[in-house]
Structure 1
Amino acid sequence: MSIGWIIALIILGLLGLNAWMVFKTWRIKRRVEKAVPPRGKFIDISSGRLHYVDRGEGPAIVMIHGLAAQLGNFDMGLIDALSRDHRVIALDRPGMGWSERGEEVPANPRAQAAQVVELIDALGVERPLVVGHSLGGAIALCLALDFPQKTRGLALLAPLTMRGGKVAAPFHALNVKSRWMRFVLSWTLASINSIRNTALVFGYVFGPEEVPKGYSVQGGGLLGLRPVSYRNSCRDFLASARDLKWMAAGYGGLQVPVSVLYARGDRILDPDLQGTQFAQQNPAAIRLSLIEGGHMLPVTQPDACESFIREAEAGSAGIGEHDAADQGRVV
């Protein structure tokens, strides 16, 4: 057999393999969308159609989820608990869950904060308490810095706040700068590898805690297997640190109280850098609480998060009384 025929057979084999991966990814996408359909309403903002839930009555709380996630992360007990006496609005960030975001729409935290404000204004919400988890914490901080009149305070769960620190292993696969490479990977290797590496990734994201039963559907975890989720998670990851220098320069002038909850065993973000050192930027405005656990507090410890959020809203965050002892307080 000539070398030309060998090369041709190799090319045909690769094309066949890619076709199989695209078909398998399409089947995964269909099953995921059937298992986890939209659970809320839609509204049009500048980034496209936005999906959100709006439950309960009373003082408003707006909830912003983290990287590669969606509003289901707050819907494993936390939304229901708070909506007994609050109006709770949780959104799929643009590009995540069931929300749209075009490639031309910016993905940096400051831009996403402005998009959240669009939702707040469109729904006629008056100065809500803003809850942010992980990357959602960075977005909430940008909102407070750019639009302090739009919120009465922040309650941040394991937030991204400071520059520096190591990138956790599960996020290395999101460091894809080429738009076209992101598209190709999203329809070939991304979903398949995510399923294959589930135990390893969950060990970082949830550890040292266990993954709660029901996370895949009620917590929305399966939606991360959709090709569009991978592509937009890559964009969010690449843009996540873009505003941190600007943010840090403004921490001393925060105009709203900020409460922060971190778990000592967090394997995604460093509680000392992102929690303790952040709180030291403005002791008069920022209060830090530490508990045991990992990064996915809204999912693994909704009761502790509920208590923390209610305490933050009640104004018992001790503004002006923050000290070293507060940093070790267990909620």
Structure 2
Amino acid sequence: MREAMFYDKLEGNRVRCRLCRFHCLIGPGQRGHCRVRENRGGVLLSLVYGRAIAEHVDPIEKKPLFHVLPGSRSYSIATVGCNFRCLHCQNYTISQPEEGSVEFSGNLVQPETVIQRALAQGCRSISYTYTEPTIFFEYAYETAKLAKAAGLKNVFVTNGYITNEALAVIAPYLDAANIDLKGFTESFYREVVGASLAEVLDCIREYKRLGIWLELTTLVIPHRNDSLEELRNIAEFIAGELGPGTPWHVTQFYPTYRLQEEGRTPLATLRAARQIGLEAGLRYVYEGNVPGEGGESSYCPSCQELLVKRNGYLIEKNLLDHGRCAHCGFAVDGLWE
């Protein structure tokens, strides 16, 4: 266990957590909304420091990050726990643990070991993913510092609910993030996610202000967030506030966890979402979870020539020339070699 960062000690041995935007008030012996930060005698502890529940070598495209070192491998780690309650979470077995199991979860893997394993596997980055990296902040922070010193990039795959204070501390070590913008109404966030859209939007703006490379993902769920109006609002937010060079991934939903009543997202809906994004001025819009359908490849915004041909997570052609279109020389947005 490790004493948590970002909390205030209050009267009666209560504490106020300042790590995420729920700002939990936690009494003695209680845990925060994330289930992995516990108040013991007025001291807030992280119960998951160094307790990796998942370790995998992934293609960076799986995050998904299409504009960060394409074709490279990323050493991906997670602990149990999450501060959201998404009804459709595909990793619910580790994101929503039983409270009594948290401090015994996973395997003890120290930050130094993560770096050693990543380098040994030829990885170019560390991804903090699968669950919500904010809730294992101390572990991610210590690992990220070592990764940066070793020449590795650091990636958050996140729901976008970290406080500005905590984000500012890890930002010097954080190169890129894929943030889930899960919908664009407060009702969707309240009913399906258990959080606030306004807070997510503020957090996304802060990532952008700090200069962290951003790609956004929206899982398009039938009858929940798939109206053309909502998709248009998302696209216009990205183009207007983050810039037209910000990639947007619109991905296919399939029934899982507590959201079993809806079917898979029709391919036509994803195609419509992609067209909406392009019409809003976005340069790069991708269709996800539908490998082989053609919506995963990158094209030059200037001359429309193929830049990167993808099939699922596999790159079949990479025609980028040091981050530029080999045909017309257009400087493609992203983090390249």
Q: TM-score, normalised by structure 2?
A: 0.32
Q: TM-score, normalised by structure 1?
A: 0.33
More helix as a share of residues? 1
Point out which structure has higher relative CO (alpha carbons under 8 A, 6+ apart): 1
